[in-house]
Amino acid sequence: MKLSVIFVLILVSRVKLERTNNKPLLKLPIGEYRIDIKKIYSCNTTRQNNIHINYYLNKTSDNSKEIKGNATLLMPFDDNLSMDVNFSIRGADGDWKNNTYIFHAEQAYTTSKNIMSKIDTSGLGFNFKYPIPVGCYISTGFNTSNLENLNYIPKEFAYGLYKLRYILTDKKHQHFGCFVVIVQLKRPSEII
């Protein structure tokens, strides 16, 4: 999976989520939040990727969604890969402010595993055993409410609509896989 790690609003204690712009460009209220995943899709890269995340969302009831699809690895998912998560946020004018926050970590496998350690990933069709070998991992249905149990994510964050671009690269910055998650951070009282 890794892939799913992704969704991650991460604030790993060692590795800080970096703000790329010091200006308070958006005055969004901050607080405890719920995660509402709106959309998941593969990035349209011009390069041939060796890791294809073909996930999509399926609504299972009025207030729950599952991740279906597959992750196809043409190379192992291991710690030779690094991961980047670029956050864009949608402003009141409807435009995306690109790369508002950036998260970078070496050792994509270990980072992903640590973030997901409280989550049962079997619904995504794989387990975190090092490395995750070449193969096609079919998601039988992963309840997105599991993502409330990600580790290291901040307890409070600015409410709003975010686009997270999750990118896997090697040390030479070659691109191996990429997908996008659109996520809304809502107040706990709001219905998902």
Residues that bind ligand NAG (CB under 6 A): 20, 41-42, 44, 54, 58, 60-61, 64, 68-70, 72, 78-80, 84, 86, 96, 98-99, 102, 136, 138, 143, 145, 165, 167
141: left (phi over 0), alpha (psi -120 to 50) or beta: left
Distance CA 77, CA 80 (A): 8
How is residue 164 written in tokens?
């997270």
Rg (the chain; Cα; Å): 16
Minimum CB distance to ligand NAG smaller for 157 or for 176: 176
Q: How far is the CB of 136 from ligand NAG (least distance, A)?
A: 4
Minimum CB distance to ligand NAG smaller for 29 or for 47: 47
Minimum CB distance to ligand NAG smaller for 19 or for 187: 19
Q: How far is the CB of 31 from ligand NAG (least distance, A)?
A: 21
Minimum CB distance to ligand NAG smaller for 14 or for 172: 172
* Coil, strand or helix at 114: helix
Distance CA 116, CA 63 (A): 22
Q: How far is the CB of 156 from ligand NAG (least distance, A)?
A: 21
Q: How far is the CB of 59 from ligand NAG (least distance, A)?
A: 7
Minimum CB distance to ligand NAG smaller for 22 or for 61: 61
Q: What angle do CA 32, 86, 15 make, to 5 degrees?
A: 70
Kindly state the greatest CA–CA separation across the chain: 45
Helix, strand counts (H, E) of the chain? 1, 11
Q: How far is the CB of 68 from ligand NAG (least distance, A)?
A: 5
